[in-house]
Structure 1
């Protein structure tokens, strides 16, 4: 699972990041509101842990911009504001949960796990785009009824493309999908991953190419039936 933690108190932020990493999570973190918004819009996260009182942009402004951008990433507000009105306002603008400081790290872990679990239970196990069918539970992919052989890396990348059909996915997002750490921007790992995925999908040369390039921007999954 991949998380974003936006918290300006360095001690609290480091404690949260350390706890999640100890539980095998991939975590991005920042103490700046504008940087937090950039990460939230640029990358896909399973859950965002978001403080309200932040420099430059506060948590409520960040959440509003995330929702306006059409992203439904679960957001847990982490704040010292403990009045009922504050909580109600947070839920009204799209927060999924609310945890008041100070808190036990075990409770934060449990709440984040619950948010992620609810989100993915709401997504069907089987995703279909054009003649492609991906089964998230069985970890299988078929095209036009034919079972495809695919590496775990290609499966994860295809899952990302299918969940965001028609949307351009940037190089940096693809890097985040296939690697835990950022890679050298001069390397060709993204191109290699796209090539491998295209090859795995192209079982018949007469079939249309589904993974398209948007020059200078990234790649997207095209549904020929929607053209």
Structure 2
């Protein structure tokens, strides 16, 4: 999952960056509203975390402009302002949820996971599809109720596909959602990860759960 993290307190920003990347999120950072708006319009994130008190352009304005340009990914606002008016202002601008500083990182991560699941139409922390299940809270992957160990990037790809079952996803889209903005989008590394997923999750090649659509990308088959 690829996140936009917008926080002008560099100490907090770097703390959150480290903890989120340790949990296999790909994270782009910004420390002012101007950069945040550019990045938010340039990339299709899975979610954004935006502080309201930003230099150059305040967080509420950034969110409003993103929504005006039809960026629909979930947005969680951070605020040191504890008045209900400030929270309402951020939500009215188009944010989906908020946290008041100081906060526990565990709560931020839980709220982010919930927002991403809801945006994909998934209410539960466990996403199931036939013999496959993926727990977004614990990062556990099961096939026929047996645990399977995936690498960080394999997990990111499988999680994205489980959140978009039945949809055709291009290699470029998968690359954008598992790597940061500096990665070479022309890389064929996605083919390697797809091949590994097929081998680990369907060793006997009986399920054929990932379809390749030539010139379009990949599709995770929906099982009844």
Could you say which TM-score interval applies, normalised by the shorter chain? 0.5 to 0.7
Structure 2: 5+ residue stretches without partners: 118-122
* Matches of 1:88 and 1:208, distance apart in 2: 47
Runs of 4+, deviation exceeding 6 Å: none
Give the superposition deviation at 1:87. Answer: 3.5
In structure 2, the residue corresponding to 1:183 is in which secondary structure?
A: coil
User: Taking structure 2 as the reference length, what is the TM-score of the superposition?
Assistant: 0.64
Aligned residues between the structures: 204
- Contact 1:74 1:116 survives alignment (8 Å): no
Q: Which residue of 2 aligns with 1:104?
A: none
Q: Cα deviations across residues 143-186 of structure 1 (Å, max 9, x unaligned)? A: xx373744324333212211222344453553366556743344
User: Taking structure 1 as the reference length, what is the TM-score of the superposition?
Assistant: 0.63
Distance verdict in 2 for CA 1:214–1:131, change over 3 Å = farther
* Matches of 1:133 and 1:48, distance apart in 2: 27
State how 1:19-168 maps to structure 2 within 5 Å. Answer: 19-21=15-17, 23=19, 25=21, 27-30=27-30, 31-32=34-35, 34-38=37-41, 42-45=44-47, 47-51=48-52, 54=57, 58-62=61-65, 64=67, 70-71=72-73, 73-77=74-78, 85-92=85-92, 93-97=94-98, 107=101, 110=103, 113-120=106-113, 124-136=124-136, 137=138, 139-142=140-143, 145=144, 147=146, 149-153=148-152, 154-168=154-168
Q: Cα deviations across residues 75-95 of structure 1 (Å, max 9, x unaligned)? A: 115598x87545323223334
Structure number with larger C-alpha Rg: 1
Higher relative CO (Cα under 8 Å, sequence separation at least 6) belongs to 2
* Matches of 2:139 and 2:63, distance apart in 1: 39
Give the superposition deviation at 1:15. Answer: 4.7
Q: Which residue of 1 aligns with 2:188?
A: 188
Structure 1: 5+ residue stretches without partners: 100-106
Distance verdict in 2 for CA 1:207–1:2, change over 3 Å = closer
